[in-house]
C-alpha cells in the first residue's frame, strides 16, 4: 500500500528560450506521488513528460513552481546541492544502460557509492547483494560487453538501487530491448515495487509497458490531461498471489 507523499509539485513550470522566444515545456503542473507507488508517465513527443522527469531527477530546475522531495523543497537548490540530492535520494535507469564498458559489472553497480564516499569493501559487498537480487551474481566480474542487453539493463537497475534511493526514475528503460526482454525487465520492476515497496516513476511511450504500473499520468502540451489508477496485469496478479 502506498504511504505518504514522497513527491509533491505545485505550479511546476519550465520555459526554454528559443530563437522564437520562450517555449513553455511545462505549464503549472500540480500532483503528488506517494511512497511505494509505481507510476507510468506517458505522452507524445513534446508533451512535457521528459521535462517533468528531468525536474523530478534534479537534472534541471523549474522556471516557476515548487517541488518537494519528502519534506524538502528542492526546486531552488544550487547545482552542487542538487547533485547531492541525486546521489543520496534518487536512482536512475536510462534507455541506453550507460554502463562503463571497461569496468566490471560489480564496479558498475558500485559506482554511485564511489561518489558517496563509501569504502571499497562495503561498495563491493552491497553491489554483489544487488546483483544477486537481479539474478546476475555469477556475472559480477564480467565486462558489460560479455552479457546481453537485457542483462545490462538489470545491471543498470542494480546500480540505481545500490545507494538505497527514495525513488527510482526510469526513462524509456525498455526502448532498446526486444519484447521478451522487455517483459523480463518490467516484471523485475514490478517485483521490486511489490515486494520491497520501491517507489518507481517510469517514462514510456509504450502502452504495454505502462500496463505494469499501478497509476498512469498522461501529459499533453505541458499539462496533465489524465491521471488514473489501473488494474495490474494478469501476470502480475498471479505473481502477487503465488
What residues contact 126, with CB distance under 8 A and at least 6 apart?
110, 113, 118, 162
What residues contact 19, with CB distance under 8 A and at least 6 apart?
none
Provide the percentage of residues in the chain whose pLDDT is more than 90: 83
Q: Which range is least confidently modeled, 67-71, 121-125, 212-216, 237-241?
A: 237-241
Determine the pLDDT at residue 76.
85
Q: Predicted confidence band at 238 (pLDDT cuts at 50, 70, 90)? A: very low
Backbone angles phi, psi at 21, to 5 degrees: 115, -170
Determine the pLDDT at residue 115.
86
Considering the four listed CATH numbers 3.10.20.30, 3.40.140.80, 3.40.50.720, 3.40.50.300, the one that applies to the domain covering 5-98+165-241 is 3.40.50.300
Q: What is the DSSP string of the chain?
A: ---SEEEEEEEEEEEEEETTEEEEEEEEEEEEEETT-EEEEE--TTSSHHHHHHHHTTSS--SEEEEEETTEE-TT--HHHHHHHHHHHEEEEETT----TTS-HHHHHHHHHHHTT--HHHHHHHHHHHHHHTT-GGGTTS-GGGS-HHHHHHHHHHHHHTT--SEEEEESTTTTS-HHHHHHHHHHHHHHHHHH--EEEEE-S-HHHHTTSSEEEEEETTEEEEEEE-PPPHHHHHHHH-
pLDDT at 207 over 90: yes
Tell me: the pLDDT tens digits for 167-177? Answer: 999 999 998 89
Determine the pLDDT at residue 239.
52
pLDDT at 233 over 70: no
Provide the percentage of residues in the chain whose pLDDT is more than 70: 94
Q: Where are the domains of the chain?
A: 5-98+165-241
Average pLDDT over residues 53-62: 94
For the chain, the average pLDDT equals: 92
Tell me: the pLDDT tens digits for 104-149? Answer: 999 999 999 998 899 999 999 999 999 999 999 999 999 999 999 9
Determine the pLDDT at residue 231.
81
Determine the pLDDT at residue 234.
47
Average pLDDT over residues 9-35: 94
Average pLDDT over residues 188-203: 95
pLDDT at 22 over 70: yes
Tell me: the pLDDT tens digits for 65-92? Answer: 999 999 999 998 998 899 999 988 999 9
Determine the pLDDT at residue 20.
84
Distances (CA, A) of 183 to 35, 67, 77, 173: 24, 32, 38, 11
Amino acid at each position: 500500500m502506498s504511504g505518504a507523499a514522497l513527491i509533491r509539485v505545485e505550479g511546476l513550470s519550465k520555459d526554454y528560450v528559443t530563437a522564437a522566444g520562450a517555449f513553455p515545456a511545462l505549464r503549472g503542473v500540480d500532483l503528488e506521488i506517494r511512497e511505494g507507488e509505481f507510476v507510468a508517465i506517458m505522452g507524445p513527443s513534446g508533451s512535457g513528460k521528459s521535462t517533468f522527469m528531468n525536474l523530478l531527477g534534479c537534472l534541471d530546475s523549474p522556471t516557476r513552481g515548487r517541488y518537494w522531495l519528502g519534506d524538502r523543497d528542492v526546486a531552488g537548490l544550487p547545482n552542487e546541492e542538487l547533485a547531492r540530492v541525486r546521489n543520496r535520494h534518487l536512482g536512475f535507469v536510462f534507455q541506453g544502460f550507460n554502463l562503463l564498458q571497461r569496468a566490471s559489472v560489480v564496479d558498475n553497480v558500485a559506482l554511485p557509492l564511489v561518489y558517496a564516499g563509501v569504502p571499497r569493501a562495503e561498495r563491493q559487498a552491497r553491489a554483489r547483494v544487488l546483483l544477486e537480487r537481479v539474478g546476475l551474481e555469477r556475472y559480477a566480474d564480467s565486462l558489460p560487453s560479455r552479457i546481453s542487453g537485457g542483462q545490462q539493463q538489470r545491471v543498470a537497475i542494480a546500480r540505481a538501487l545500490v545507494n538505497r534511493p527514495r525513488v527510482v526514475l526510469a526513462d524509456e528503460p525498455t526502448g532498446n530491448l526486444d519484447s521478451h526482454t522487455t517483459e523480463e525487465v518490467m516484471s523485475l520492476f514490478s517485483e521490486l515495487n511489490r515486494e520491497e515497496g520501491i517507489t518507481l516513476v517510469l517514462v514510456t511511450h509504450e502502452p504495454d509497458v505502462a500496463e505494469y504500473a499501478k497509476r498512469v499520468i498522461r501529459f499533453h502540451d505541458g499539462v496533465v490531461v489524465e491521471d488514473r489508477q489501473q488494474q495490474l496485469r494478469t501476470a502480475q496478479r498471479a505473481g502477487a498471489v503465488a
